[in-house]
């Protein structure tokens, strides 16, 4: 991933240095296991653990000749260890090391992303509490529906983000698996106790059955989970973009001092950060399709998935980490404009209280069809006249036959309309 969309901690997780470090951890754990089984002399194990190291530059040099990264790595380590290196990689195949190490990297990445999600949820909860009673227009199909509060909108986002945390925890559990079962998973050249030891030491679960590789449904679940989280962020970003449109103008993403909105139009304040989040979500969705394509491999393995994963696994983790940081920054500094929200509510001409009127007439004994006709007739007159639904209802003989002015005043009181908002907030401990 390009540096523009990369955060330092996630970059370190997916660095070549960290990858080779994980490979070495797997190899050393296997040596310890073999030593406990009497296959490697203790003196040799001590020397291996003392001297084992690698040099990334040297690995790259060797790989130009071998065209095999794991062999290049082992050669680099052997140059540091000496003759005892003959005990390293005993009975193992490349993907015993690479897949097990990759699971460790994915677990590290998942832990960082879970922290990112938790941080974003904390900010959302703070902002939701601040905007608990900030009344705004609720919209369906892009059209005014009924009043809500901006705090309620944020509660819906919090609930979705909390589901994403659970999804990612499940995906982490599925990928927290290692395998040290040999060339085709039959343990022909490696004792199953080596796998048990290695996985326990590296805090992984041994795969109950594997081929030469871990099966790629695990990786597909992980990447598709990242894609779902990215889609969530795109949904939130799209909502902010819509609310920032000039015709709506109810919120604005932060606009820094010295920031410029357009090279041609000095007045512009564009939702560029939310647009970036929406755009990058498309990349992760594309990666999730590639992850699903990787599930199908030939027989006990082929290498079609390998080149794909060198791109999609680090890139998806790096992008989502970056997007979560962007989103948290946007929510933390989001400018909310209650006065514009109220102006937009007033544009509805009181039509947003039609359901309350319909329900009130039903309580008076009218059928739904009878009540609907009365309210709809008044609503259409309101649209055509440019007046207010409340005025039309007060002037309607059919409506006033059943409702008093006091009852109508109560129906058109927004505070009464939103009286149950506190119940929803209590579900979140807010």
Q: Does some domain include residue 114?
A: yes
Q: Does some domain include residue 5?
A: no
Q: Does some domain include residue 19?
A: no
What are the beta bridge partners of residue 149?
Answer: 135
Please report where in the chains the tokens 């003759």 appear, as a residue. 83
**Cβ proximity of 331 and 239 under 8 Å:** no
**Cβ proximity of 122 and 137 under 8 Å:** no
Q: Is the domain of 315 the same as that of 368? A: no
d(CA 280, CA 311): 15
Q: Is the domain of 301 the same as that of 394? A: no
- DSSP for 323-374 reads HHHHHHHHHHH-EE-HHHHHHHHHTTTTGGGHHHHHHHHHHTT--HHHHHHH
Q: Is the domain of 335 the same as that of 277? A: yes
Q: Is the domain of 262 the same as that of 131? A: yes
Rg of the chain over Cα atoms, rounded to whole angstroms, equals 30
pLDDT the model gives residue 280:
98
Options 141, 299, 307, 404, the catalytic residue? 141
The verdict on whether 36 is a catalytic residue reads no
Q: Is the domain of 135 the same as that of 164? A: yes
pLDDT the model gives residue 268:
80
Per DSSP bridges, beta strands 205-206 and 177-178 are parallel
Q: Is the domain of 289 the same as that of 318? A: yes
Q: Is the domain of 110 the same as that of 254? A: yes
Which pair of structure tokens corresponds to residue 276? 């970036």
Domain total of the chain: 2
Domain boundary residue, one of 306, 327, 347: 347
Q: Is the domain of 137 the same as that of 168? A: yes
pLDDT one-digit tens code per residue, 131-147 = 999 999 999 999 999 99
d(CA 324, CA 321): 5
**Cβ proximity of 48 and 82 under 8 Å:** no
CATH number at residue 375: 1.10.40.30
**Dihedral pair phi/psi, residue 304, rounded to 5°:** -65, -30
d(CA 138, CA 145): 5
| Model pTM score | 0.94
Options 46, 186, 262, 385, the catalytic residue? 262
Q: Does some domain include residue 328?
A: yes
Q: Is the domain of 316 the same as that of 369? A: no
Q: Which domain holds residue 371?
A: 351-411
Q: Distance between the two ends of the chain, CA-based, in angstroms? A: 39
Please report where in the chains the tokens 């059919």 appear, as a residue. 398
**Parts of the chain with a pLDDT under 70:** none
Q: Does some domain include residue 136?
A: yes
Q: Is the domain of 323 the same as that of 378? A: no
Q: Is the domain of 287 the same as that of 369? A: no
Q: Does some domain include residue 167?
A: yes
pLDDT the model gives residue 212:
96
Q: Does some domain include residue 15?
A: no
CATH number at residue 147: 1.20.200.10
- DSSP for 304-318 reads HHHHHHHHHHHHHHH
Per DSSP bridges, beta strands 335-336 and 251-252 are antiparallel
Q: Is the domain of 380 the same as that of 297? A: no
The verdict on whether 219 is a catalytic residue reads no
Q: Does some domain include residue 169?
A: yes
Q: How many CB atoms lie within 10 A of CB 122?
A: 13
Which pair of structure tokens corresponds to residue 425? 């907030």
Q: How far is CA 141 from the centre of its chain?
A: 26
What's the residue count for the chain?
430
Of 247, 234, 272, 251, nearest to 142 by C-alpha is 247
**Cβ proximity of 314 and 14 under 8 Å:** yes
């Amino acid at each position: 991933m390009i540096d523009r969309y990369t955060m330092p901690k996630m970059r370190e997780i997916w660095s070549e240095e960290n990858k080779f470090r994980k490979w070495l951890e797997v190899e050393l754990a296997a040596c310890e296991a073999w030593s406990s089984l009497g296959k490697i002399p203790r003196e040799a194990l001590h020397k291996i653990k003392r001297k084992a190291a690698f040099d990334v530059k040297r690995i790259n040099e060797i790989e130009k000749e071998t065209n095999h990264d794991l062999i290049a790595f082992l050669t680099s380590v052997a140059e540091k260890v000496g003759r005892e290196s003959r005990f390293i990689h005993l009975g193992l195949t490349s993907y015993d090391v690479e897949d097990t190490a990759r699971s460790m990297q994915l677990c590290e990445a998942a832990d960082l992303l879970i922290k990112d999600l938790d941080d974003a949820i904390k900010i959302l909860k703070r902002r939701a509490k601040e905007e608990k009673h900030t009344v705004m227009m609720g919209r369906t199909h892009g059209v005014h529906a009924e009043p809500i509060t901006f705090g309620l909108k944020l509660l819906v986002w919090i609930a979705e983000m909390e589901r994403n945390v659970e999804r990612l925890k499940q995906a982490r559990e599925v990928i927290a698996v290692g395998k040290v079962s040999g060339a085709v998973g039959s343990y022909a050249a490696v004792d199953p106790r080596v796998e048990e030891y290695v996985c326990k030491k590296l805090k992984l679960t041994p795969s109950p059955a594997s081929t030469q590789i871990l099966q790629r449904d695990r990786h597909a679940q992980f990447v598709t989970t990242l894609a779902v989280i990215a889609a969530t962020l795109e949904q939130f970003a799209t909502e902010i973009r819509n609310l920032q449109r000039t015709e709506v103008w109810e919120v604005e993403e932060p606009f820094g001092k010295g920031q410029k909105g357009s090279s041609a139009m000095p007045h512009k304040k564009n939702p560029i950060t939310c647009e970036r989040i929406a755009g990058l979500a498309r990349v992760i969705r594309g990666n999730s399709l590639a992850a699903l394509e990787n599930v199908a491999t030939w027989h006990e393995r082929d290498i079609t998935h390998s080149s794909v994963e060198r791109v999609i696994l680090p890139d998806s983790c790096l992008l989502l980490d970056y997007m979560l940081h962007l989103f948290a920054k946007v929510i933390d500094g989001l400018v909310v404009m209650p006065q514009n929200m109220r102006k937009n509510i007033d544009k509805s001409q009181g039509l947003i209280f039609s359901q309350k009127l319909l329900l009130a007439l039903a309580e008076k004994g009218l059928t739904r069809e009878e009540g609907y006709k009365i309210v709809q007739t008044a609503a259409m007159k309101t649209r055509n006249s440019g007046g207010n639904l409340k005025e039309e209802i007060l002037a309607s003989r059919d409506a006033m036959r059943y409702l008093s002015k006091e009852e109508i005043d109560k129906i058109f009181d927004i505070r009464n309309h939103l009286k149950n908002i506190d119940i929803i907030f209590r579900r979140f401990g807010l």
